[in-house]
Chains A and B, each alone.
Chain A
């Protein structure tokens, strides 16, 4: 068992990052010109890393499967980005952001990484504003903030419900500047199919041009994987249709450890599933929980009447409603962290109080917010005695200004007007905290192979707080990786160009070609989606919001069986040398079929409940997650085995020196 060295610098927590930056080696500007770096994925982490590396002087190649880097799925993030700016003067600080994140992650993240994240968070906002990201502002012209789940301060910067879009376009604009200078070459509609190792170091990738089908070799001195998360292993998730684990999984197969795969975030506020045809789920931003109140009927017969269409939610009076989050968690109320809110919704629906046809939905109600804002608006604009209609009209205007695009999106999908009737929501897979294991420098267990953003496991522990994914992606890309990678590359200044005609590249390309041929050779019984949907069902039912040993064991068996069936019988139409969406999907699903089993294995092994990982066997009498710090305060880093349940576990022990490990309570 190789030792897992997290390479956390010595010294006090608050000084570690500064000290580390002072200690690591730099590459002089003239030498940077001779060093190539590949960045796979162009979301917030990849886009910002590519731009910064190019700006520093490295030659960067970016790869994305979309037709433009600007379409990476970071663009869909809605709510906001956290930063410990304390602009609101409500007592925020780096330490508090650090504390909230570690606590929110249920004490399963690495202290030093999280502190560094908090430390650079303010800088991200400065950077983005300088780049022209149009954050929401107050009338005084200064930046506005809102509040998100699991915290008691307002530290979230936002741009309506499109913060991810604005930040990604910011990172993309930084990329544009470098593309225009010729420092970034962007390969769009390209998919990484394998990582190439030379002498044990990551030295390039094999990629497929998705338009021509051509298999290409690209060499570099280092490879950065910023390819996002693997939520699509569930088939239905809020991820983009193309989001996949291929880049990370290929690296895993080549020796990079995969950490905590079972830590998956199931987001509480998504639009419920409407039928079998559904291809993906749509998130409604957590920011809605600032103003929306979540409830189900108090009486089961009301819930049944609503399901059957005999009653409307607006028919129920205040005391016929159960605002269960406010009831169970008075301190945080509707703003409890995501894992807690999701489980509470599932608990109510399982108990028979769900409100849509399928019984899997709860209400998110804005009527009191509309009234409150309406009164306030009427008052400030001089109507000291407004009528009820006036209040509601003004209130709707305020709510529209805040959440207009989300309300519109809801109405388009569900065909109901959320200003008049409460929204229906249900939890859905949204984000994966697990990912490639990385050390403090964001380097995986393969030298020269780095992982950034959602693709790595580092900062969110077992549960991520809202508005922290954007923060982490940009922190990794703008401020962490460009420094730490220099330390590694400083040893490569004499290496010269990496040739692509080496036996290692030959072998990797051959492996890729064989694998694709094998996909095409299936007996042709079922489409790729058939398998993907089956896998998703297993994952959702047995590895979803609540898990137990028996079902996890079953899941492993069923997935292994499904994988064998897939390879024997999948049907991939079309050809290898043309645009072929089914072939692309097949390659991705093949990897999900391995990851799914490792996921179940990881969940099976972790005999405790923490954050997004809830094991039914381990809960308090009130149904809250029961952690086992004595035995499970570690990161599970899995070494690849072609039979995923046989993967070898490596542990990275987590130590908490600057924070008191407590039972997480939001009551």
Chain B
């Protein structure tokens, strides 16, 4: 198929960017979206132009590197996939596709379609862990039974790949879904109880410091999340936060 691509080009963090239009032909439905960009880049290189920079790595939907706002939606029009698993069969011959970086003040553009998502890392540094030593002198794994339902919910929260689609989709650029998934993973396990109060307070504080917006419950994050992280996690974090602040 033949496509028109409108892509955000920006030389570096300080440069002023702009949309640029490219024509591309010979795209097949079995190609992934990123493979389509590979084809474009190969053409650009052969023409002596600078190829489009975009984040990607595992190309199987788990590392969370790939991002891209495609036609106004993070990871494009398909559901429960990352851009690397979005296939071109979701588009039609002659389509125009607008490709932009994820936009948020807390995610500044590095170059072209690459943004800096280290704000997410800093939220996790602030409390995304259980303070046990890694020496291995812990108690036997089966000495802490965990209700299967809680363990499954914890796992579901923990499947967050930290791609930032929730922030990109949210009209307020809020990071509540991400942060709440991280808080929930631990809040649902007995191991996480000991530091529950400090964890939620510290992570929310860091989230606010990074300049993310406030949650207004539009639910866009849940719809666009490639891993289907549930809004329930946000409710849980609100609860955890309230109980933490009431405990002082």
Contact = CB atoms under 8 A, between A and B. Distances in A.
B60 to A, nearest CB: 5
A30 interface: no
B135 to A, nearest CB: 7
Contacts of B161: 165
A16 to B, nearest CB: 18
Interface stretch (A108-116, A170-178, A454-462): A170-178
B218 interface: no
A211 interface: yes
B172 interface: no
A253 interface: no
B53 A68 contact: no
A164 B56 CA distance: 18
B138 A412 contact: no
A80 B45 CA distance: 41
A162 B129 contact: no
Interface in A274-289: 274-275, 277-280, 282-283
A177 B124 CA distance: 9
A69 B146 CA distance: 29
Size category of the binding interface on chain B: 35 or more
A470 B223 CA distance: 32
A51 B46 CA distance: 44
A129 B144 contact: yes
B148 A68 contact: no
A5 B185 CA distance: 46
B142 to A, nearest CB: 5
B60 A159 contact: no
Interface stretch (B92-100, B112-120, B208-216, B233-241): B112-120
Residue of B53, B60, B131 contacting most chain A CB atoms (<10 Å): B60
Given A68-B118, A415-B87, A581-B53, A173 B59 contact: no
B134 interface: yes
A123 B110 CA distance: 41
A18 B154 CA distance: 36
A479 B42 contact: no
A162 B136 contact: no
Interface of B: 11-12, 28, 30-32, 34-35, 38-39, 42, 44-46, 48-51, 53, 55-65, 78, 80-81, 85, 87, 89, 110-111, 114, 116-118, 120-121, 124-136, 138-142, 144-148, 151-152, 154-155, 158-159, 161-162, 185-186, 189, 191-192
Given A67-B55, A70-B64, 14 more contacts: A55-B133, A68-B120, A71-B58, A75-B63, A76-B60, A126-B136, A132-B186, A137-B145, A143-B141, A165-B62, A280-B60, A412-B87, A527-B42, A573-B51
Interface of A: 48, 51-52, 55, 66-73, 75-76, 85, 87, 120, 123-132, 134-143, 159-160, 162, 164-166, 169, 172-174, 176-177, 179-180, 188, 211, 238, 240-242, 274-275, 277-280, 282-283, 408-409, 412-413, 415, 478-479, 524, 527, 529, 571, 573-574, 578-579, 581-582
Lowest 10 A-B CB distances belong to which pairs? A141-B145, A173-B129, A134-B155, A129-B141, A123-B136, A130-B138, A134-B154, A240-B57, A177-B129, A71-B63
